[in-house]
Amino acid sequence: MEERYFEDLKVGDRFKSGTYNVTEEEIISFAGEFDPQPFHLDTAVARQTMFKELIASGWHTAAITMRLFVQMLNCAEGAIGLGVDELRWPNAVKPNDVLQVEVEIVDLRESRSKPSHGVVRLRYVTTNQRGDIVQTMFASALVLRRNK
């Protein structure tokens, strides 16, 4: 796949990622390292919570979303994250969910501080295999300009 530069992107462009299978083992391992709360760590305990089963940390969902995004957009020299707004987890991610990300470019502007780069604003929607939305957010990133 060819690398993308800032000039290759247009407002309204949409991109759909590949898919990612989330395993129970992975949910527990991520939570053990970064979000050691009972409903992310132990299936028996999780059954007694409002979720009724083991759920992934929202930060795990966010990290998987990033992985799917990087592989999808393939920006030359990468996309440098500046910030994220309105990050929401409307439905929990559970073992054996298959996640997919769709992004839409909502704004493009030159970078004042880094003339070699442009600033891309994206809307992300992460869904599971049933089409339930598990995460939404807006994020801005620096992307390299061509011949700069």
Contacts with a second copy, residue ranges (CB under 8 A): 30, 33-39, 49-50, 57-59, 62-64, 66-67, 70-71, 77-89, 114
Q: Cα separation of 142 and 82, whole Å?
A: 7
For residues 123 and 60, the answer to whether their CB atoms sit within 8 Å is: no
Residue 112: left if φ>0, alpha if ψ -120 to 50, beta else—which one? alpha
Query: Based on CB atoms, which residue is closest to a second copy, 25 or 85?
Result: 85
Closest CB 93 distance from a second copy, rounded Å? 12
- Least CB distance to a second copy at residue 35 (A): 5
Judged by beta carbon, residue 127 or residue 139, the one nearer a second copy is 139
CA distance 16 to 39: 30
Residue number with CB closer to a second copy (12 or 110): 110
The least distance separating a second copy from the CB of residue 59, rounded to whole angstroms, comes to 5
Q: Nearest distance from residue 139's CB to a second copy, in Å? A: 9
Cβ neighbors of 87 (< 8 A, separation 6 or more) are 58, 62, 135, 136, 137
Which one, 12 or 140, has the nearer CB to a second copy? 140
Residues in contact with 67: Cβ distance below 8 Å, sequence separation at least 6, in sequence order: 20
